[in-house]
């Protein structure tokens, strides 16, 4: 018996955002369900690491647009439907509210909070239903968001993501944590863990890949290879050659900053290939106390090393692992209490960060950064994609009573995989869909307009092209700004809020607007003098201590001085 699509499907025009793990499964399911007109937005290109779960892609597609290849793959078995791909960022100006209004429903298969919030606001402004989704390993969820009927995507606060997409880690890092995860879970694991594991650090050119049997594995040490030469070979491969190879794919960098290849000869040109430490005898009795920092005479873990210093630490830590802890190699896993491992990962992360234009961090901060990859599971993506289509059909039918938020969970005791619940009503306190004013507590005498724009309006409120007004006075505007106003806005950014042409003090109401999102938010400013929270914690500990050593007391006094000299703080509620 032939399958007949419901009329709501035959007349539907659907927008998909994301053509990755969920997106591939979703596009296939939409096509097989009879959806005739599908539009796809995705800015990414296909990576080797995608191939184990994004089944529409093949090895020869690596480097090509995900949206375009996904379209071509589906048209091979559903040639009579219309699929329109956009190799672009959904936050680009062309995808405005008018663009969204042409669709009956929007289906999200995104992997980051910022883009999800942006799509949510466009759907609200265009009054188009949104079906949101996400997966993490064996877990996942599908949620329905209809303006005025259910909560919007931002009605409930979202926790900061603690896991990161593999594609971002291996190819397009934008945060230091991405570099830490790369250094810890890929590079460290590859060099010192299971030697048989395969990952994207084995990148070769397409020519080399086609004849890989005859190509030397960079990570294999030759019998006659000096340890320092081996270290520099690894350095040049992961920080130089791999970056150059990535740069050869122009599509990837159209909307991103291009990374810079880093080779050891350019950084350490004035040093010999052998750069041994000077504490050889010290470590003979206690191998776990081996330290590249100590070997190179570097003591303070809160110093931010230069690129040259990071390179020296990287090579010295590499050498010490192979000369002092050789028996452990092949069985090591990263341990934050392993000093040498932390030094190696910090240095590797910093070198990679330098390549991608990301600010470097000290060892103390790097050690405290938590990040872990949860690999996507193809079957979870397939289940979630099916649930998205089910909810999309309900939305098209306007079957409000049967809308469901469905969570893919593990309940072994109850033999339960899926947990459907009825959608919640809109949150009356939501500043996005209910237009509730926000309160911002801030030191208006110390905090600059730049802090407000970067840390609050962009980072916390998720606006891309903000416009900030105090009463009828325009304080700042991003985007297509007239030349004579650019200098004025740049000057305003460097002024304290209370010193602006229209002073922002306690009781001031600011209006912040993003024209692209058609989103407006009012912020009630409350002036407040803040004490550093860690300072207060230190005071508490100081008072609780029964015995205070003189050295500890001196440290406390120094810390007290610096805390009192930097009391600027902001809080958003």
The total number of structural domains in the chain stands at 3
Distance CA 178, CA 175 (A): 5
Strand-pair partners of 523 = 438, 510
81 in the same domain as 22: yes
Position 388 in a domain: yes
Distance CA 435, CA 148 (A): 12
> How many of the other CB atoms lie within 10 Å of CB of 541?
12
Distance CA 173, CA 356 (A): 7
**Is 23 among the annotated ligand-binding positions?**
yes
Q: Are 411 and 420 in contact (CB under 8 A)?
A: no
Position 427 in a domain: no
Q: Are 430 and 436 in contact (CB under 8 A)?
A: yes
DSSP element (H, E) containing 380: helix 378-397
**Is 357 among the annotated ligand-binding positions?**
no
Position 119 in a domain: yes
Position 426 in a domain: no
289 in the same domain as 191: yes
**Is 66 among the annotated ligand-binding positions?**
yes
52 in the same domain as 25: yes
137 in the same domain as 100: yes
318 in the same domain as 334: yes
- Taking Cα atoms as reference points, which of 251, 208, 191, 228 lies closest to residue 46? 251
Position 302 in a domain: yes
Instruction: Name the 3-class secondary structure at 416.
Output: strand
Quick: pLDDT tens for 402-422. Answer: 999 999 886 656 667 888 999
Q: What mean pLDDT is reported for the chain?
A: 84
Q: Are 22 and 133 in contact (CB under 8 A)?
A: yes
Residues with a catalytic annotation lie at 167
CATH code, domain carrying 283: 1.10.10.520
On the question of pLDDT at 525 being above 70, the answer is yes
Structural domain harbouring 556: 438-572
27 in the same domain as 134: yes
**Is 548 among the annotated ligand-binding positions?**
no
568 in the same domain as 458: yes
Position 429 in a domain: no
Distance CA 479, CA 468 (A): 12
Strand-pair partners of 73 = none
Position 1 in a domain: no
**Is 479 among the annotated ligand-binding positions?**
no
Which positions ≥6 away from 25 have C-beta within 8 Å? 55, 378, 381, 382, 384, 385, 386
Position 33 in a domain: yes
320 in the same domain as 191: yes
The pTM is what? 0.68
337 in the same domain as 199: yes
Quick: pLDDT tens for 359-383. Answer: 999 988 888 773 454 667 899 999 9
353 in the same domain as 257: yes
Q: Name the DSSP class of 182.
A: I
What is the per-residue pLDDT for 108?
96
Handedness of CA 44, 46, 47, 49 (dihedral sign): positive
**Is 51 among the annotated ligand-binding positions?**
yes
Distance CA 184, CA 335 (A): 9
CATH code, domain carrying 510: 3.10.290.20
Distance CA 99, CA 277 (A): 61
More confident residue, 50 or 426: 426
37 in the same domain as 109: yes
234 in the same domain as 105: no
What tokens were used for 287?
């191998």
The band of 131, judged by pLDDT with boundaries at 50, 70 and 90, is: very high
Instruction: Report how many helices (DSSP H) and strands (DSSP E) the chain contains, helices first.
Output: 21, 14
Distance CA 211, CA 16 (A): 38
What is the per-residue pLDDT for 289?
61
> How many of the other CB atoms lie within 10 Å of CB of 455?
14
């Amino acid at each position: 018996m032939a399958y007949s699509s419901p009329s709501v499907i035959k007349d539907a025009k659907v927008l998909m955002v994301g053509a990755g793990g969920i997106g591939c499964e979703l596009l296939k399911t939409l096509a097989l369900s009879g959806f005739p007109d599908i539009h796809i937005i995705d800015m990414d290109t296909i990576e080797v690491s995608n191939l184990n779960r994004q089944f529409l892609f093949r090895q020869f597609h690596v480097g090509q647009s995900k949206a375009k290849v996904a379209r071509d793959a589906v048209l091979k078995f559903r040639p009579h439907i219309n699929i329109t791909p956009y190799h672009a960022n959904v936050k680009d100006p062309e995808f405005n509210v008018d663009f969204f209004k042409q669709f009956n429903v929007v289906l999200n298969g995104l992997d980051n909070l910022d883009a999800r919030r942006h799509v949510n606001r466009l759907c609200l402004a265009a009054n188009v239903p949104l079906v949101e989704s996400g997966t993490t390993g064996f877990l996942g969820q599908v949620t329905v968001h209809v303006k005025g009927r259910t909560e919007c995507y931002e009605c409930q606060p979202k926790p900061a993501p603690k896991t990161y997409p593999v594609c971002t880690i291996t190819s397009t890092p934008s945060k230091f944590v991405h570099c830490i995860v790369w250094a810890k879970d890929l590079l460290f694991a590859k060099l010192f863990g299971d030697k048989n594991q395969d990952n994207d650090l084995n990148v070769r050119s397409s020519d080399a890949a086609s004849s890989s049997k005859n190509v030397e594995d960079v990570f294999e040490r030759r019998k006659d290879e000096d340890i320092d030469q081996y270290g520099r070979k690894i350095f040049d491969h992961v920080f130089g050659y791999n970056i150059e190879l990535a740069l050869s794919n122009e599509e990837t960098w159209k909307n991103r900053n291009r990374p810079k290849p880093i080779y050891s000869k350019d950084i350490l040109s004035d040093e010999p290939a052998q750069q041994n430490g000077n504490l050889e005898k010290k470590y003979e009795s206690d191998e776990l106390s081996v330290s590249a920092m100590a070997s190179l005479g570097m003591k303070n873990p809160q110093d931010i090393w230069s690129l040259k210093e990071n390179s020296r630490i990287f090579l010295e830590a590499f050498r010490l692992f192979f000369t002092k802890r050789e028996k452990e190699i092949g069985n090591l896993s990263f341990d934050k209490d392993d000093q040498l491992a932390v030094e190696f990962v910090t240095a590797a992360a910093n070198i990679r960060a330098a390549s991608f234009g990301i600010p470097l961090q000290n060892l103390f901060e790097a050690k405290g950064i938590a990040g872990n990859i949860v690999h996507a599971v193809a079957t979870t993506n397939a289940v979630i994609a099916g649930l998205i289509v089910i909810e999309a059909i309900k939305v098209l039918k306007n079957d409000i009573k049967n809308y469901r938020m469905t969570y893919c969970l593990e309940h072994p005791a109850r033999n339960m995989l899926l947990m459907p619940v009825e959608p919640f009503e809109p949150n009356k306190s939501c500043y996005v869909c209910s237009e509730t004013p926000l309160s911002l507590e801030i030191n208006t005498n110390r905090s600059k307009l730049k802090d407000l724009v970067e840390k609050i309006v962009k980072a916390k409120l998720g606006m891309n092209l903000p416009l900030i007004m105090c009463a009828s006075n325009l304080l700042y505007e991003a985007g297509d700004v007239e030349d004579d106003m650019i200098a004025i806005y740049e000057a305003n950014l460097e002024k304290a809020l209370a010193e602006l042409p229209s002073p922002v003090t306690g009781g001031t109401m600011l209006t912040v607007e993003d024209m692209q999102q058609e989103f407006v938010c009012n912020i009630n400013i409350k002036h407040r003098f803040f004490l550093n929270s860690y300072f207060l914690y230190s005071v508490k500990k100081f008072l609780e201590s029964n015995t205070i050593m003189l050295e500890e007391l001196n440290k406390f006094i120094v810390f007290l001085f610096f805390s009192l000299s930097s009391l600027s703080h902001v809080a958003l509620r």
